Amino acid sequence: MQSSNRVVAVVVGGLIAAAAPAVADEVVGATAVPVQATVVVAAEVAEPEPVVVVATQQPAAVEEYNRWDSRTFLTGAVVFGVGYGAAAITAGVSDRSADERLYVPLVGPWLDLADRGDCDVGNQACDNETTKKVLIVADGVVQAVGVLLVLDALLFPTQVHRTTVAGNDVRLTPVAMAHGGRGLGLAGSF
Helices 70-93 and 125-155 pack at an angle, to 10 degrees, of 150
Q: What is the mean pLDDT of the chain?
A: 75
Answer whether residue 3 shows pLDDT above 60: no
Q: What is the pLDDT of residues 88-123, one digit of tens each?
A: 999 999 998 889 999 999 999 999 999 887 777 677
How many CB atoms within 10 Å of residue 143?
24
At 165-176, the pLDDT tens digits run: 665 667 777 888
pLDDT of residue 48: 57
8-state DSSP, 185:
E
Say what the pLDDT of residue 169 is.
Answer: 66
What are the backbone angles phi and psi of residue 97, rounded to the nearest 5°? Answer: -70, -30
The answer for residues whose C-beta is within 8 angstroms of residue 115's C-beta and 6 or more apart is 97, 98, 101
Is the confidence at residue 86, as pLDDT, over 80?
A: yes
pLDDT in tens, 36-82: 555 544 445 555 566 555 555 566 677 788 888 899 999 999 999 99
With cut-offs at 50, 70 and 90, classify the pLDDT of residue 19. Answer: very low
Query: In this structure, how many other beta carbons lie within 10 angstroms of the beta carbon of residue 154?
Result: 13
Cα separation, 106 vs 146, in Å, equals 9
Report the alpha-carbon distance of residue 102 to residue 87 in Å, rounded.
5
pLDDT band at 15, cuts 50/70/90? Answer: very low
- For residue 140, the surrounding DSSP H or E stretch is helix 125-155
The more confidently predicted of residues 131 and 34 is 131
Q: Where are the domains of the chain?
A: 1-43, 64-162
Cα dist from 152 to 67, 77, 116, whole Å: 12, 12, 32
What are the φ and ψ backbone dihedral angles of 18, each rounded to 5 degrees?
A: -110, 140
